Chains A and B, each alone.
Chain A
């Protein structure tokens, strides 16, 4: 903890991050317009997922899953230095990654229809889940009476795995392909094709809690659970390809609490056509309860859902922001700039545009503003 106390000053203050203390940060240009810290040795192809190690680990690690089939792990130093630690390979693009609650293992989901468990201590990687189609999401479920891995796939199933058994503990049929999911015990939310949203409750054993009619009119792309004041999961933010995010309480006391807001759209002047971009990622700040959205437009934005205001919009990057996450202490916002296929394969230009992962101090920027009384 002591280390992280310092870390928070490093990441919380502007001194370290404002300067160009790391070699990586010297690179400039539109790929990093805000001069955030660039993670060393980024993946060779688009980054599909990012995850920080849980608060349980003494050191902060960042893992990424990418389209070059790799799972990579960096150690993030408090001074902003990033040290590539290790990598593992899948036989297909890696679409999602997550950590076990104790921070000893990393799970990855891939287009090769497998999910793997990477034991960081032994650096061994074993298959722990199998689907009939690429696995889109992987989440670690830590319940008081059990732990398991939840995988959501395009084979329209949601499976729960005891990582020691080759058979799933449970298989739940989904109405459609799984596109996005989030878990915060005891709640799980799955967004599917066909604009489905299903909320599961994980106490005792996972079971469907309710299906929700989508507040959005376009394909679901990302979902993130948020907590209430008592730190209990109470709702979720759902992002769609139509530059819109819905804030939805699972059991809204007042339906007016639920709302949607637009984001990641070009400022169409009066005559110009307004471009609407997909929301590629949503991350909630663990302390403030504010959120960050990452867009296909190459920008990220910070929002205060309670005040219903925007806190900040980033400069525009040269590439879409394909993934984002916030570390469990709420100091570091990590985002990955890489092509997300939103313009099709014609615009895929791996030679010209290299993926990069950037780290930004966010504790201040994501702080809710004082509200008027």
Chain B
């Protein structure tokens, strides 16, 4: 611990508070991570440079420096390496540094957090190594400032880590104005026990934050960051990391790493992730554009909602963005485009709502085209389960067999309704409006009244009246909970009120 004191002020990145061995590397880092154009990947030389480039070349406005900490996203500031850093931030950093060291000296255990974990934490590792040489890819990682996540991830695993640990993370970012000592005092009491279990790690720079955060009770966290961090998330303090609070700790590491992976060492992880089907989020999107980053997160939220996907699809972007915005400015660049039509910002999606129903489905609903189509809608789910089992075994064969038997018969022009009556009439010959959507009805052909222009079939049970059936229950969407063989009825559709009237049998 003592030896750490020898450390001199290392160059550090104003945007993400990271330290570097060398100012050259710092510059590389900044160019790759904070000054890179998300569209053409050109590395610019400063925040304003990036903004101007994007406006002139891509006609896009960048309002925040990518991958920056909250409050450090000012694109107007001309910072390069250590030059241009606002005086007060410089001082603040210095002070914090010293405070940290002091803290470390006092509570050595705290300090270790940053470095060691990096190498330890499995997933974190992938990202970390790049830490030294900031990789552009890593820079796209939506949330976490490099170095941060691993630390966090690791914490839980640490022996003595008390729950407050996570909460402190935010503290680490050290809001510029944050007085270091604030965190310190409380920590002292809390620290001792923890230290015991943790041998000081040599290589460990006293994480800028490590110590401070430590002592801070979760509750305190929020007040410390004035940046609108999600800190309130409480113990889960990780919020800034861009992952939903709800995300189980386990899920976070992979995703984070996956996204950061992208760069060179990607191979190991990606293959692993790829075969796992749905979990491939990271590699998929994040790689090319930061835009994708948010989407990676969005999808992860989806699984729980499963079928609700349609609606949630459009929804995620927003939460995601806001979340990220607080974390790092990266995503804000893409805001204009990602927000798309859903948020109605400066863009408009030329597609009718809701966006999860295709144009064709919509169009096919039109009376002009819709002769026998069931309404395609969100209710469709039931159809899969219902018709499938019955349709295939017995009913289907005769149907299509006939349809195919007389080649050419199926080509009866629409609207030209052949005489209605034959039980085994092949579907192809049936007047469009007559044809039940499912094969089974063939068994009860006699019951099918020749209805008017538009008909829908509702499945009920013998002897049961379907009553007034709402649009939603139209075949093949009706999940039938009753037992016994289903009976099909053809119902005329009253499109005006969206209800189907039961056709008496």
Contact = CB atoms under 8 A, between A and B. Distances in A.
Contact of B411 (A48, A89, A210, A275): A89
Interface in B299-350: 299, 307, 309-310, 313-314, 316-317, 336-338, 340-341, 346-350
Given A127-B404, A156-B380, A211 B278 contact: yes
Interface string B363-376: 11010011111101
Contacts of A256: 137, 262-263, 266, 287-288
A342 B383 contact: no
B451 to A, nearest CB: 16
Nearest to B137: A256
A193 B294 CA distance: 20
A260 B293 CA distance: 12
B410 A268 contact: no
Given A91-B432, A124-B408, A133-B437, A259 B358 contact: no
Interface in A334-350: 340-345
A88 B397 contact: no
Contacts of B275: 210
A98 to B, nearest CB: 17
A173 B404 CA distance: 24
Contacts of A133: 373-374, 376, 380, 383, 437, 476
Contacts of A342: 350-352, 359
A272 B279 CA distance: 38
Contacts of A125: 407-408, 410-411
Given A177-B376, A213-B284, A278-B359, A251 B274 contact: yes
A91 B387 contact: no
Interface stretch (B22-30, B226-234, B388-396): B388-396
Interface stretch (A25-33, A107-115, A353-361, A364-372): A107-115
Given A259-B288, A267-B59, A275 B348 contact: yes
B356 interface: yes
Interface residues of A, number: 82
A171 interface: yes
B350 A275 contact: yes
B190 interface: no
B348 A248 contact: no
B298 A132 contact: no
Given A132-B476, A211-B278, A255-B262, A166 B349 contact: no
B410 A136 contact: no
A344 B280 contact: no
Interface string A157-168: 100000000110
A273 interface: yes
Contact of A275 (B284, B286, B337, B347): B347
B119 interface: no
Contact of B396 (A157, A167, A343, A344): A167
B400 interface: yes
Given A255-B283, A259-B287, A126 B408 contact: yes
5 contacts: A133-B383, A218-B355, A242-B340, A248-B284, A342-B350
Given A125-B407, A177-B380, A212-B284, 8 more contacts: A88-B411, A125-B411, A127-B410, A130-B396, A211-B277, A216-B295, A217-B295, A278-B359
